[in-house]
């Protein structure tokens, strides 16, 4: 069967879009991060139309350009005050749907990219530094681009590059990272959020009660948590809980009328954003949840009267087997519902729970609370199956860990006290990586932007005539094979190629000789035709594997093939 295939021609090379591991040397923890750049940090894009902004990386090993997921999110500074007693203003993301403020938050007064809008992409996708603009350029784009150079201040050798091109004709082809669905009960804004790596469920506006690692992360879709919990005053049902904070919508000043409102959501190729306002007696407290490829973040803008106690903590499911706990002062603590005393008397900004069903690293930044006069901030931990805080499903305190804040002064003011919470999804039985995540979260990557102009007319997408495409699923031999994953050798990776006759879901796994999966190379939708990717002989934690025979498996819905590859030292 003969079909036409589209090629992209530049002065330097022939380009075919196919899934490929990005070429950068950032650390395991860094690669979880998004890179978020505001308009005031990238003035070269001010005034451009968001729909005409595209992200590319240059793959030096193949001398080609690859489009990557890149998202532009518009934001508006909005007065969120509730009556004159509760002044507030927040930067809200322009939403896909009407919420508390109706259509007023569904558009920006300035429809072009401006100083408070954001460009976001995943650090994991960064590539190589591109050749001179006259030597290589992405097809169907304008004659100027912006080079984003990314560096890790904790590792002087770690660098990556992303290039932003403008185009009036280009189509977005890099795929979607996150799906977001409002489900029943819709009046509570229950939501299912899903990436290739995990599934999360909110059953109410403030109630996050499912986190399920998927097979791409080595999980089997088992729910790890009973709930992610918020508490005020005390950990009893007579006081404020995430359920009470979810009550509404109401005006907050009538008896038994909760005041939480759904503000809206935005879904794009890099992240989904969920916005809620109101929590019991804090009608202008705002709750933002953002979902990325293998992590999620929560930002709570607190505005409330004085409080004696406030908690945020994880509560794990009793059905996920043995759990090991780690933090700044403790290692390999068994979470089994049996009380024990932990080491350390200073707060830990990170903690990790590892189980055979999946692992989570929790990181919190509550420096703004710590700076309040008289406010006391501590880590919180309780592992006691006899204790119940009366929310969730199992009525057990299984490995509760998070933060406890005491003696909070009145914060019911226009400027909120902001806390940041991040959850990183790791494979089952993950080794202790919490400190690594802690380090990179306290010190972000640095970025610099440079406008570049070509004097050569950019290439265009052209048909290269009738090309033969194999009308069947086919896995080609890897090369080189054997190969070495030693840093001292030239051939530090092997190339894997396979053909799919039509667009389909594809998984590419690596197994050791005992049949244990040691690496997921790809899990997602593949275009038709020849696909190419690279494996550098490392496991999910980016650690070099031992020498020996391994098996590459490429699987579609109804076909799969395997081939052996050998690592030598």
567 CB-near residues (< 8 Å, 6+ apart): 482, 483, 484, 485, 537, 545, 546, 547, 548, 550
Kindly write down the DSSP assignment for every residue of 423-476, as one continuous string: EEEE-TT----HHHHHHHHHS--EEEEEEEE-SSPPP-EEEEEEEE--SS-EEP
219 CB-near residues (< 8 Å, 6+ apart): 198, 212, 213, 357, 358, 427, 428
Which pLDDT score is estimated for 226?
97
Which pLDDT score is estimated for 528?
84
Peptide bond into 6 cis (omega under 30): no
Confidence of residue 294 (pLDDT cuts 50, 70, 90): very high
Which pLDDT score is estimated for 487?
65
Among 40-49, 208-217, 358-367, 533-542, which stretch is predicted with the lowest mean pLDDT? 533-542
Q: Which tokens is 134 given?
A: 């006259």
Confidence of residue 402 (pLDDT cuts 50, 70, 90): very high
Architecture of domain 77-84+177-432: Distorted Sandwich (2.70)
Q: Which of 3 and 338 is assigned the larger pLDDT?
A: 338
Mean pLDDT value of segment 379-404: 93
Most confidently modeled of 59-68, 467-476, 489-498, 526-535? Answer: 59-68
Which pLDDT score is estimated for 511?
84
Which pLDDT score is estimated for 55?
97
Confidence of residue 454 (pLDDT cuts 50, 70, 90): very high
Which pLDDT score is estimated for 459?
86
Residue 244: count of CB within 10 angstroms of its CB: 20
- For 361-370, the pLDDT digits (tens) are 999 999 999 9
Which pLDDT score is estimated for 288?
98
Which pLDDT score is estimated for 176?
79
pLDDT above 60 for 265: yes
Mean pLDDT value of segment 202-214: 97
pLDDT above 90 for 415: yes
Which pLDDT score is estimated for 19?
35
pLDDT above 90 for 93: yes
Sign of the Cα torsion 460, 461, 462, 467 reads positive
Mean pLDDT value of segment 230-257: 79
Confidence of residue 17 (pLDDT cuts 50, 70, 90): very low
Place of tokens 């990717």: 533
176 CB-near residues (< 8 Å, 6+ apart): 69, 268, 269
pLDDT above 70 for 296: yes
How high is the mean pLDDT of the chain? Answer: 88
Do 377 and 403 touch, CB atoms closer than 8 A?
A: yes
pLDDT above 60 for 218: yes
Confidence of residue 491 (pLDDT cuts 50, 70, 90): low
Centroid of chain to Cα 143: 32
pLDDT above 80 for 301: yes
Which pLDDT score is estimated for 242?
94
Which pLDDT score is estimated for 272?
96
Confidence of residue 144 (pLDDT cuts 50, 70, 90): very high
- Same CATH topology for 77-84+177-432 and 470-568: the answer is no
CA distances from 392 to 184, 382, 471 (A): 18, 16, 52
Instruction: Give 131: exposed, middle or buried? Use CB within 10 Å, 0-12, 13-18, 19+.
Output: middle
Which pLDDT score is estimated for 464?
30
pLDDT above 70 for 458: yes
Architecture of domain 470-568: Sandwich (2.60)
pLDDT above 80 for 256: no
Q: Is the pTM here over 0.85, yes or no? A: no
Confidence of residue 310 (pLDDT cuts 50, 70, 90): very high
Do 492 and 536 touch, CB atoms closer than 8 A?
A: yes
Place of tokens 């244990």: 516
Among 118-127, 224-233, 499-508, which stretch is predicted with the lowest mean pLDDT? 499-508
Cα(386)–Cα(50) distance, rounded to whole angstroms?
54
Q: Please name every residue paired with 431 in a beta bridge, in sequence order, or none if there are none.
A: none
pLDDT above 90 for 443: yes
Task: Give residue limits of the domains in the chain.
Answer: 2-74+113-172+445-461, 77-84+177-432, 470-568
- For 326-346, the pLDDT digits (tens) are 999 999 999 999 998 899 889
């Amino acid at each position: 069967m003969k079909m036409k295939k589209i090629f992209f021609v530049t002065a330097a090379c022939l380009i075919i879009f196919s899934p490929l591991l990005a070429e950068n040397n950032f650390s395991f923890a860094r690669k979880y991060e998004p890179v978020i750049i505001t308009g005031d940090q990238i003035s070269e894009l001010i005034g451009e139309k968001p729909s005409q902004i595209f992200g590319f990386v240059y793959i030096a090993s193949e001398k080609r350009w690859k489009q990557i997921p890149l998202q532009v999110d518009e934001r508006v500074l909005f007065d969120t005050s509730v009556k004159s007693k509760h002044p507030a203003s927040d930067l809200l993301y322009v939403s896909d749907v009407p919420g508390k403020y109706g259509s007023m938050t569904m558009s920006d007064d300035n429809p072009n990219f401006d100083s408070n809008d954001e460009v976001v992409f995943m650090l994991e996708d960064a590539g190589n530094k591109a050749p001179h603009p006259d030597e290589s350029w992405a097809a169907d784009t304008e004659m100027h681009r912006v080079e984003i150079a990314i560096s890790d201040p904790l590792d002087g050798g770690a660098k990556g590059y992303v290039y932003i091109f403008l185009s009036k004709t280009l189509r977005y082809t890099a795929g979607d990272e996150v799906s977001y669905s409002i489900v029943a009960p819709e009046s509570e804004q229950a939501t299912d959020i899903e990436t290739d790596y995990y599934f999360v469920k909110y059953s109410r506006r403030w109630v996050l009660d499912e986190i399920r690692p998927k097979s791409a992360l080595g999980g089997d879709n088992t729910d790890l948590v009973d709930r992610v919990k918020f508490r005020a005053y005390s950990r009893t049902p007579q006081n404020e809980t995430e359920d009470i904070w979810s009550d509404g919508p109401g005006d907050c000043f009538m008896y038994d009328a909760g005041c939480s409102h759904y503000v809206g959501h935005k879904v794009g190729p890099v992240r989904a954003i969920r916005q809620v306002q109101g929590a019991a007696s804090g009608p202008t407290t705002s709750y933002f949840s953002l979902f990325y490829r293998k992590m999620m973040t929560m930002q709570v803008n607190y505005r409330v009267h004085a409080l004696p106690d406030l908690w945020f903590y994880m509560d794990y499911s009793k059905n996920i087997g043995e759990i090991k706990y780690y933090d700044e002062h403790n290692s390999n603590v068994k979470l089994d519902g049996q009380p024990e005393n932990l080491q350390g008397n200073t707060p830990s900004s990170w903690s990790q729970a590892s189980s055979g069903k999946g692992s989570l690293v929790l990181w919190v930044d509550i420096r703004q609370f710590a700076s309040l006069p008289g406010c006391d901030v501590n880590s919180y931990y309780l592992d006691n199956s006899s204790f119940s805080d009366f929310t969730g499903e199992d009525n057990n305190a299984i490995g509760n860990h998070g933060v406890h804040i005491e003696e909070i002064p009145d914060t019911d003011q226009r400027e909120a006290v902001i806390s940041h919470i991040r959850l990183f999804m790791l494979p089952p039985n993950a080794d202790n990586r919490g400190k690594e995540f802690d380090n990179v979260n306290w010190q972000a990557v640095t970025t610099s932007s440079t406008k570049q102009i070509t004097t050569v007319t950019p290439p265009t997408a052209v048909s290269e005539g009738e090309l033969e495409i194999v009308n069947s699923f086919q896995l080609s031999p890897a090369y080189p094979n054997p190969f070495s994953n030693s840093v001292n050798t030239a051939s530090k990776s092997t190339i894997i190629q396979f053909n799919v006759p039509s667009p389909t879901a594809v998984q590419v796994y690596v197994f050791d000789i005992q049949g244990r999966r040691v690496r997921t190379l790809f899990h997602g939708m593949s275009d038709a035709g020849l696909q190419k990717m690279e494996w550098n002989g490392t496991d999910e934690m980016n650690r070099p594997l031992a020498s020996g025979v391994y098996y590459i498996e490429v699987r579609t819905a109804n076909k799969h093939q395997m081939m052996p590859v050998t690592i030598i030292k």
